[in-house]
Structure 1
């Protein structure tokens, strides 16, 4: 646990070194002012209340009289002015410190959210598949949110430590024996309660991470099958969510009870310690009354930040398992990144270079890590630029895997994948990705207008070009029949449209990218046979500018497709 905590602190400091240093300087300045306020009470008590003490009051009063402040009312005014200045300084420093600590804390959280998403965005496809969606959602929201609380607790702890140390230094300056007794007792108490403070809190934190992960998993399952669960109510979902909600609540209440028990013990112990220090000061050490009053006032001022510090330490221990989960997922995703990050600016709406693209697989073999069994073995095929090719084969034969190899989101275990333009220009992985469009049977639509969905990938198109693309995909009639036409919102995941309508809109969006290679992975599976035939015939006219590869389970029309590749037989007809 200590190693994780040190890693947490190093990460915190490395992310915003300047911000942490400024926050530390403000904390030290606040502690200095707090110490001066405490020290200023000694001469005030001696001068104005006549309480005997260290003689500091007499020396200060003599110095002020020699400076022209002999009148008692003038002394009171001066003392009040000094005290007011110190209080104002403390308040101003506290304000700036609070704002600076908030900036540092939010910067820490922002860093991890951006870093995790960037790692996911650049991770190898297989590695991304190894992480379930609910796990990624859980880490990016729940765990990062919890380390935000841990970050705030860390900041509060550092502030509390500095303030407490400053007050202890003042206590040692005016009553070293009593201060030594206080410090020794405090250290002994911390050592005695370290298991309650750290181990128990961390255990509760680990349980919270696991409970939240189960909650995200069950909720993801429920939402994924929402229509089915509405038609066929499944009591297990409700029962499981109730169990998880109760487990989360019980665990958090147990942690809160642990914190409350510690605070109660500290309050009772501090009251007893104050009585002991008072007795020792009067009966054993013979501490002057003014000094003893100021010393006890210092201890009373230490008590609230000390209690808060203990609570913050417990909170940090409680959030460490979430931080461990964050860094584990980050390391796992980052381990598969083979290519250096490409510089990315703001998205621009520009057309990719023109020209149909050919692809070739040479002696390619591939297996998914999760299964280990080879999906493809020694596969070779070549698709010439400007052709329309159908890719056939039974379920599980590897059709989608071939497409994934072509797009470059997975890489072959053996063999090579090559892409080139009709003019002979060779394309690397990034160049091919920028010049292809991939339409799947599960279209990606966002909760915005049809127009924005058609142009979401950065395409530039006039309304006329948009309508032409909708003509090609047989979608123009139904779009123009909507009350708001192209400005109609499609709902979350396009759920206000039918499956066939969603597929046709997404295919139109892919056409508007003007790709050199258009891949259709059962992209018209939800469309009736006649409409699909019409769409494929329209697509055939585009092969002057693009190559089209279509995975389909329906018999391809030889009048439309230039070639059919039977993947099961590893042969071309």
Structure 2
């Protein structure tokens, strides 16, 4: 599949490999002629002619080898480039459940360790297979023409080689799979340590982290040593079998020379050809181990590529277009969207991350266009899961979710997400410039639009004070910014996206008072005219919500305005009392 686009390069590489193999097979015949000419009465001219042909054959072989290495090397680089692109392109398509069940280090390991292993197999494996198959067939024909008896003896030693290779191959496959998996573990542990370096340092976990890493690294060592032992044992046994074969051929062949059945030159040629077969067969154990490593790597690469992506819409019913002002208008039907905000509804929704462990049960929530809806409740009540369903990170296990009256599952995922902005408590920023981070909200917008979005999010004041302004790099995940600054960059990104549905997951809970004031001012502006669903930790931020849904253990236990819930919902009134929030006088 990945070689097909480069079939011309592939064919060139294989043809040149065939010619190079053929050139290499000429040497024993020319050597035979030289020896027989020296021993017999061929004369000086015959020897000179054979030596000249030998030199020409070597020159030809050198040129063909260069072309072969260039062609197959280029082929492997192109195939691996496409394979790496395909794996990376697959990552955004993977469902969230995949990331729940697999570590990020495993994905990175596939991108690096496994694909590099595939590159080796493409560049070396293809040439080796073609060379050995062609050589085997041609050499056997040549050997039979020189001496049938010697050829029968040589063929008799092949079964021991095959037996050794079979045993090594079977055991190596298991070890190769384990090794590639362990390399993924090593990458995961290292990535976890780097991502959580603040925790590692503050809790003095360096020694603990090193211990975990060393244990896994030692497992890699032991698995690798097992493979080395297999290779070494196989190579030793193959050498013994090959030695026995060559010694036997020399003994029997020498006797046949003395009897005049073959010439000395033919015996030398025969032994060279025999070594051309026996040598690679002796190397087969090591080659088989490398092939098994490559197969294990290929299995992991294609296991990721073959993961079923996010569910697609039954039919695209929510096309988007950009109006003259640069805003995105969603028009399923001309009369379906009466206002800027979207209407959403959860109808008797059930959801679970793991079968048999419900996270949401019979949840019904409604937000009319432009309304501000709040979700409150204790930790683990299922609030964040509601937002994840609205942005289609997951699909409900039962019930329906409607957007503008349309079943969410019938709308292409990308269309849903283009109309939605999700602002999390811990936002992710890329190791790029401020400009590029804000442009992530809509890469098609202009620099001027970015500046307007930054002003709207109250981010311009600190961005423009930075050394390079909007072109300043902010470090991995915005490490050069404070928490409040990171959140305002995230809000600027949402402003630029200009969504119809705004989802806020405790967007201000981790901020200090001053930062919270600025972020709240930006949020108030962002929420204007948009439908907003907010998870609130500080209930003071949602007192003015059009409707508040109180959740507990995956269920909605009450809904209404702030004053109503204070009067009739014990859990809500207790939460307000804990935060010293009272009903307005």
Question: Structure 2 length normalisation: TM-score?
Answer: 0.80
1:232 aligns to what? Answer: 203
User: What secondary structure sits across from 1:525 in the alignment?
Assistant: coil
| Displacement of 1:314 | 2.2
Unaligned runs of 5+ in 2: 317-321, 330-338, 562-585
Does the alignment pair 1:456 with 2:440? yes
- For 1:88-135, what per-residue CA distance to the aligned partner results, in whole angstroms no more than 9, with x for missing partners? 332222222222322343444444433433443223333442223233
Q: Distance in 1 between matches of 2:304 and 2:522?
A: 45
| Displacement of 1:277 | 0.7
Q: Distance in 2 between matches of 1:306 and 1:275?
A: 16
- Relative to structure 2, which stretch is displaced further, 270-279 or 398-407? 270-279
Q: Distance in 2 between matches of 1:15 and 1:175?
A: 45
Does the alignment pair 1:411 with 2:401? no
Q: Could you say what the CA RMSD is over the residues aligned between the two structures, in angstroms?
A: 3.4
Is contact 2:351-2:397 (8 Å) kept? yes
User: What secondary structure sits across from 1:478 in the alignment?
Assistant: helix
1:390-469 aligned within 5 A: 390-420=374-404, 429-461=413-445, 465-469=449-453
Does the alignment pair 1:524 with 2:513? no
Q: Distance in 1 between matches of 2:97 and 2:226?
A: 40
| Displacement of 1:51 | 3.6
Q: Distance in 2 between matches of 1:18 and 1:406?
A: 48
1:531–1:268 distance in 2 versus 1, CA, 3 Å:
closer
1:275 aligns to what? Answer: 247
1:21–1:467 distance in 2 versus 1, CA, 3 Å:
closer
1:115-126 aligned within 5 A: 115-126=86-97
1:25 aligns to what? Answer: 15
Is contact 1:209-1:321 (8 Å) kept? yes
Is contact 2:425-2:507 (8 Å) kept? yes
1:538–1:263 distance in 2 versus 1, CA, 3 Å:
closer
2:482 aligns to what? Answer: 498
User: What secondary structure sits across from 1:193 in the alignment?
Assistant: helix
Q: Distance in 2 between matches of 1:43 and 1:259?
A: 38
Is contact 1:119-1:334 (8 Å) kept? no
1:353 aligns to what? Answer: 328
* Aligned partner of 1:248 among 220, 223, 230: 220
1:311 aligns to what? Answer: 286
* Aligned partner of 1:572 among 560, 568, 573: 560
| Displacement of 1:268 | 4.2
Unaligned runs of 5+ in 1: 1-10, 58-70, 343-347
| Displacement of 1:181 | 1.5
User: What secondary structure sits across from 2:404 in the alignment?
Assistant: strand
Q: How many residues align?
A: 532
Question: Structure 1 length normalisation: TM-score?
Answer: 0.82
| Displacement of 1:396 | 1.8
Q: Distance in 2 between matches of 1:108 and 1:461?
A: 35
User: What secondary structure sits across from 2:378 in the alignment?
Assistant: coil
Q: Distance in 2 between matches of 1:268 and 1:305?
A: 14
* Aligned partner of 1:167 among 124, 130, 139: 139
1:242–1:531 distance in 2 versus 1, CA, 3 Å:
closer
Q: Distance in 2 between matches of 1:538 and 1:216?
A: 39
1:258 aligns to what? Answer: 230
* Aligned partner of 1:189 among 152, 157, 160: 160
User: What secondary structure sits across from 1:391 in the alignment?
Assistant: strand
* Aligned partner of 1:49 among 7, 32, 38: 38
- For 1:294-313, what per-residue CA distance to the aligned partner results, in whole angstroms no more than 9, with x for missing partners? 11222234454444444212
| Displacement of 1:196 | 4.4
| Displacement of 1:137 | 2.5
1:460–1:108 distance in 2 versus 1, CA, 3 Å:
closer
1:360–1:337 distance in 2 versus 1, CA, 3 Å:
closer
Does the alignment pair 1:296 with 2:296? no
| Displacement of 1:504 | 1.4
1:7 aligns to what? Answer: none
Does the alignment pair 1:90 with 2:74? no
- Relative to structure 2, which stretch is displaced further, 271-280 or 333-342? 333-342
1:179 aligns to what? Answer: 151
- For 1:289-330, what per-residue CA distance to the aligned partner results, in whole angstroms no more than 9, with x for missing partners? 221121122223445444444421221124433333334444
- For 1:330-354, what per-residue CA distance to the aligned partner results, in whole angstroms no more than 9, with x for missing partners? 44x2276556999xxxxx9x95524
- Relative to structure 2, which stretch is displaced further, 495-504 or 88-97? 88-97
Q: Distance in 2 between matches of 1:24 and 1:467?
A: 56
Q: Distance in 2 between matches of 1:460 and 1:26?
A: 48
- For 1:342-397, what per-residue CA distance to the aligned partner results, in whole angstroms no more than 9, with x for missing partners? 9xxxxx9x955247231322424232242532222332322222333333232222
Is contact 1:204-1:255 (8 Å) kept? yes
Is contact 1:436-1:517 (8 Å) kept? yes
| Displacement of 1:480 | 2.8
Q: Distance in 2 between matches of 1:214 and 1:462?
A: 42
1:131-146 aligned within 5 A: 131-146=102-117
Is contact 1:42-1:291 (8 Å) kept? yes
1:553 aligns to what? Answer: 537
Q: Distance in 1 between matches of 2:326 and 2:40?
A: 86
Q: Which has the higher contact order (CA 8 A, sep 6+)?
A: 1
2:193 aligns to what? Answer: 222
Q: Distance in 2 between matches of 1:486 and 1:337?
A: 37
